[in-house]
Amino acid sequence: MFAHCTKYADALYSLKKSKGVTAAYNKQITKVDKNNRRVYFKDSKTKEEFSTDFDFLHVVPPQSAPEFLSNSGIAAPNGFLDVDVYTLRHHRTDTIFGLGDCANLPTSKTAAGVFE
């Protein structure tokens, strides 16, 4: 949760732990049986399939840069635009600036990141 923002990650982790909330990271939902409150997953790495019951289901889609950017030659190794975190100027091209979800900044790629 909020890998680039420990302020929120630490607070949410403590809350998650105190409430007994289970998180399933790097899993793909393959089916939701809302009537029986059961969700089916596939592990993104091992491809193992499993299911679990739920009371409340919060889903966050995979977050990645658009393919045109990650394949453009101006992206960082993670696919996001390779910019300086202080100036937002591209590291190799002085005429490119980037901000928002496409930029390789230490922020979450979510609307909640606005408050970071």
Which tens digit of pLDDT belongs to each residue from 1-26? 666 667 777 888 888 899 988 888 88
Q: What is the pLDDT of residues 27-71, one digit of tens each?
A: 999 999 999 999 999 998 999 999 999 998 888 777 788 999 999
Model confidence pLDDT, tens digit, residues 59-102: 877 778 899 999 999 999 989 999 999 999 999 999 999 988 89
Torsion angles phi and psi, residue 10, rounded to 5 = -65, -45
> For residue 112, what pLDDT is reported?
58
Burial of 91 per CB tally in 10 Å (0-12, 13-18, 19+): middle
Q: The whole model's pTM is what?
A: 0.62
Q: Is 75 exposed, middle or buried (0-12, 13-18, 19+ CB in 10 A)?
A: buried
- The whole-angstrom separation of Cα 109 and Cα 63 is 7
Return the CA Rg of the chain. Answer: 18
Domain residue ranges of the chain, discontinuous segments joined by +: 25-62, 65-106
d(CA 108, CA 76): 16
Residue 42 has a pLDDT of: 95
Please check the confidence at residue 114 and state whether its pLDDT lies above 60.
Answer: no
